[in-house]
Amino acid sequence: MTGWRVLLGVTGLVCLGWGVAGVLSDVPQLPQLVIWLAVAVGVHEGLLVPVELATGAILWRASARLPRSVGQVITGGVVVSAILTLLAVPLTIRQPVEPNPSALAQPYGRNLALLVSITAVVTVALAVIAWKRDREPVDLLDHRIGRIRRRRRRA
Question: What are the residue boundaries of the structural domains of the chain, listed by start?
Answer: 28-154
Percent of the chain at pLDDT > 70 equals 79
**Quick one: pLDDT band at residue 148, thresholds 50, 70, 90?**
low
Q: Name the nearest CA neighbour of 77 among 15, 126, 36.
A: 126
Percent of the chain at pLDDT > 90 equals 23
Q: What is the pTM of this model?
A: 0.56
**Quick one: pLDDT band at residue 9, thresholds 50, 70, 90?**
very high
Calpha distance 119→30 (Å, rounded): 38
Mean pLDDT of 16-22: 87
For the chain, the DSSP string reads -HHHHHHHHHHHHHHHHHHHHHHHHTGGGHHHHHHHHHHHHHHIIIIIHHHHHHHHHHHHHHTTTS-HHHHHHHHHHHHHHHHHHHHHHHHHHH--SS--TTT--S-HHHHHHHHHHHHHHHHHHHHHHHHHHHHS---HHHHHHHHHHHHHHH-
More confident residue, 142 or 133: 133
Mean pLDDT of 70-97: 81
Calpha distance 89→40 (Å, rounded): 15
More confident residue, 22 or 5: 5
**Quick one: pLDDT band at residue 118, thresholds 50, 70, 90?**
very high
Identify the pLDDT of residue 100: 63
More confident residue, 122 or 60: 122
Instruction: Tell whether the model's pLDDT for residue 125 goes beyond 90.
Output: yes
Distance of CA 151 to the CA centre of its chain: 45
